[in-house]
Structure 1
Amino acid sequence: MTWRLVLASVALIPAALSAQPRGGDGFLFRRPAATVSLRLGAGQPSASSDVFDFVSKDLTVGRSDFLGVSFMADLSVPLSQRLELQFSGGTSGRRANSEYGGFVDNDDLPIEQSTSFRRVPLAVGLKWNLLPAGRQISRLAWVPSRFVPYVAAGGGTTYYQFRQSGDFIDFADSSVFTSTLKSSGWGALGYGAAGATFNMSRSVGLITEVRYDVSNASLRGDFQNFDPISLSGVGVTAGFQFRF
């Protein structure tokens, strides 16, 4: 769902930019009606709940192994010179390969499995520009600022998927079995972020952001007897912002 939304946004950007009233070099005829940013970077989940303790206790996988690629997309609508209403969505995740430490199967081979963890945050928030996004220098000219730092905060929901597949040990009888264990669901989300935009032209800028999500959700399916899973984590991303 998130990828379809992102792809639709990307497809609409060229048309929106071509339809925008233009000015001369470095300025627009009016203040932009909205901005779209697309960013790529890294996301590190806190991995602080007991299901991660369970995974890392016997397997050769740790919390740092879930550091993965993060993709974020934002749509911002100005409410004033500095305040913006922001809609954001993205995805981050990683699959980590592991094996049982100190155990082998009947053929003296490692007992291997993989663990994947994915988060998909969807949120609405407010973005406050610490400097004005631009200035109106005449009735027909709006000039974007070269550098605009900002902070943002909001809330929403996070979809998660936690999955393990491979070979496992039944410590009741020391047998080895093959299985796929999984859980997925939704949890409430709150976030805070800080970043900056470096405008390269009247319509395009570079944007970088550090964001921390606070979220957790009940585990279901094969992990339903565990405590809620932590979906919190930090992400660092950078990319492009398009003004239209």
Structure 2
Amino acid sequence: MKYRFRQSSMAAVLAVIGGAWAAEALAAQDFLFGRPSVTLGARIGYAIPRADSEIFDLTRRELTVEKEDFNAVALGADLGIRLSDRIDLALGLGYENSEIDSESREFIGTDDLPILQTTAFRRVPFTVGLKAYLTERGRRISDLAWIPGKFAPFVGGGVGFMWYEFEQEGEFVDYETLDIFYDYFSSRAGSSLAYVTAGFDYSLGLRWILTAEARYSWASADMGGPFIGFDDIDLNGLRAAFGFSVRL
């Protein structure tokens, strides 16, 4: 009986020591209680519209505007909902705005001063898609504990809606009379879009992630107002961005 008692006592002591050692090992590591199900992020980057339709051609031809002048700072926010270990449902909202001061290429005013105007081009995309990770984003070490991985590349794609606004305000030349007049022209509308994306997540700790991404979108829309009769405006373009996300 004493021998059995000593055996069971020794087993209990070893179990306690083993449990304490395991708890200490877990405490020494960075882990979350359960796999995160949502990420929320914000981005800043650079947008390069293709700007390859009739309205852009006319603007570059008549005014001192170049294609790269339509490039703009791009802001974005996104929500990722985990569907599986490697797949997220990705919801996004962006904003891009370029404002270009210019003058007439061929004419000057009667006062020998430049004929000045401003052109603004804004794009606001709303997107929904899937993001597929090429490696595991973390690993489970118990029923409750989850450790994030350091580096996780991804690819993805989806669809959405893009709202745009194209504005021109200032002095213009009537090519029939050569009179100079002041006016404001605008066109705004929406269009469906499709996009593809690629990038990576880099974990900065338990909750925070640094994300870098390149995305190309395809979209075009009707022109309205004084631009009726123009070809559809080209809304295609590339966006490169980085930012931070938080695991929730």
TM-score w.r.t. structure 1 length? 0.89
Aligned-partner residue type, residue 199 of structure 2: G
Aligned-partner residue type, residue 230 of structure 1: D
Cα displacement (A) at 1:27: 1.0
CA distance in 2, matches of 1:180, 1:63: 22
SS at match of 1:171: coil
Aligned-partner residue type, residue 207 of structure 1: T
**Alignment match, 1:101:** 105
Whose Rg is larger? Answer: 2
Alignment of 1:101-180 (within 5 A): 101-180=105-184
Alignment of 1:223-242 (within 5 A): 223-242=227-246
Residue by residue over 1:75-129, the C-alpha shift from the partner in whole angstroms, topping out at 9 and shown as x without a partner, is: 0111110011111111112001111113110100000101000000001100000
Q: Is the aligned partner of 1:194 residue 2:198?
A: yes
SS at match of 2:219: strand
CA distance in 2, matches of 1:219, 1:133: 44
CA distance in 1, matches of 2:156, 2:28: 31
From the superposition, tell whether residues 38 and 96 of structure 1 become closer, same or farther in structure 2 (CA, over 3 Å): same
Cα displacement (A) at 1:25: 5.1
CA distance in 2, matches of 1:243, 1:104: 57
CA distance in 2, matches of 1:58, 1:43: 24
SS at match of 2:35: coil
Aligned-partner residue type, residue 138 of structure 1: S
**Alignment match, 2:6:** none
Q: Is the aligned partner of 1:50 residue 2:65?
A: no
SS at match of 2:216: strand
Q: Is the aligned partner of 1:60 residue 2:64?
A: yes
CA distance in 2, matches of 1:25, 1:44: 43
Q: Is the aligned partner of 1:84 residue 2:88?
A: yes
Aligned-partner residue type, residue 29 of structure 1: F
Cα displacement (A) at 1:26: 2.1
CA distance in 1, matches of 2:30, 2:53: 50
RMSD: 1.0
Cα displacement (A) at 1:71: 0.6
CA distance in 2, matches of 1:79, 1:218: 36
CA distance in 2, matches of 1:187, 1:201: 39
CA distance in 1, matches of 2:57, 2:29: 56
Segments of structure 2 that go 5 or more residues without pairing to the other structure are 1-26
Cα displacement (A) at 1:134: 1.1
Aligned-partner residue type, residue 167 of structure 1: E
Cα displacement (A) at 1:58: 1.2
SS at match of 1:56: helix
TM-score w.r.t. structure 2 length? 0.88
CA distance in 2, matches of 1:203, 1:64: 37
**Alignment match, 1:213:** 217
Structure 1 runs (4+) greater than 6 angstroms displaced: none
CA distance in 2, matches of 1:218, 1:167: 25
Cα displacement (A) at 1:24: 6.8
Q: Is the 8 A contact 1:197 1:206 kept in 2?
A: yes
Cα displacement (A) at 1:151: 0.6
Aligned-partner residue type, residue 34 of structure 2: R
Cα displacement (A) at 1:214: 0.4
Match of 1:203 among 201, 207, 214: 207
